[in-house]
């Protein structure tokens, strides 16, 4: 038999089937699982952080309301104390007043000027004292920027 005749009887060559993306290789399953775990961890971390700082948003909203209606120094002091009690241990903050309270406010937020809360001294004077814009600004800065050491 003629070799050319034998070759003509052969079926034509077929292209192999295209490689499918499914089922995934084990390495891709690992990458997918790690990606989902990282995404879940990020969502949980963001949620926890948002819950931890919710008191700041509430205090800032109350400060804006206080500023718009021209609140008194005792109201501002109460607002700062409420925010501090939410952020710090009760034993550390609750009994503070006067110079100790101002010292605490300035030491817990190093970015606030040392005399930023000096106007709070007039809180203990006879009669209500209006709050200056400088004190409102210092209070807003303290609410936004105070540092809380978490254990």
pLDDT digits (tens, 9 = 90+) for 39-68: 999 999 999 999 999 999 999 999 999 999
Q: What is the pLDDT of residue 151?
A: 44
Q: What is the CA radius of gyration of the chain?
A: 33
User: Per-residue pLDDT averaged across 28-39, rounded?
Assistant: 97
pLDDT digits (tens, 9 = 90+) for 104-116: 999 999 888 888 8
Map out the domains of the chain as residue ranges: 54-145
Q: What is the pLDDT of residue 150?
A: 57
- Give CA 141 to chain center in angstroms: 16
Q: Looking at 19-132, list the stretches that DSSP marks H as alpha helix, in order from N- to C-terminal side.
A: 26-52, 54-69, 73-87, 90-93, 98-108
Model confidence at 124: pLDDT above 70:
no
DSSP string, 14-37: -PPPPPPS-SPPHHHHHHHHHHHH
How does the average pLDDT of the chain come out, rounded?
Answer: 89
Q: Which of 75, 50, 53, 79 is nearest to 140 (CA)?
A: 79
Give the range among 9-13, 14-18, 123-127, 138-142 with minimum mean pLDDT. Answer: 123-127
With bands split at pLDDT 50, 70 and 90, how would you rate the model's confidence at 36? very high
Model confidence at 31: pLDDT above 50:
yes
- Give CA 90 to chain center in angstroms: 22
pLDDT digits (tens, 9 = 90+) for 72-103: 888 999 999 999 999 999 999 999 988 899 99
């Amino acid at each position: 038999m003629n070799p050319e005749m034998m070759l003509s009887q052969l079926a034509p060559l077929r292209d192999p089937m295209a490689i499918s993306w499914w089922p995934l290789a084990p390495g891709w399953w690992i990458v997918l699982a790690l990606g989902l775990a990282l995404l879940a961890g990020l969502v949980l971390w963001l949620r926890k952080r948002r819950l931890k700082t919710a008191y700041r948003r509430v205090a800032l909203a109350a400060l804006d309301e206080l500023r718009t209606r021209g609140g008194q120094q005792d109201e501002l002091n109460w607002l700062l104390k409420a925010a501090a009690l939410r952020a710090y241990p009760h034993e550390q903050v609750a009994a503070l007043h006067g110079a100790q309270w101002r010292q605490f406010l300035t030491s817990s937020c190093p970015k606030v000027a040392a005399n930023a809360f000096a106007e709070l001294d007039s809180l203990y004077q006879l009669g209500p004292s209006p709050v200056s814009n400088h004190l409102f600004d210092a209070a807003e800065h303290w609410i936004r920027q105070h540092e809380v050491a978490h254990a």
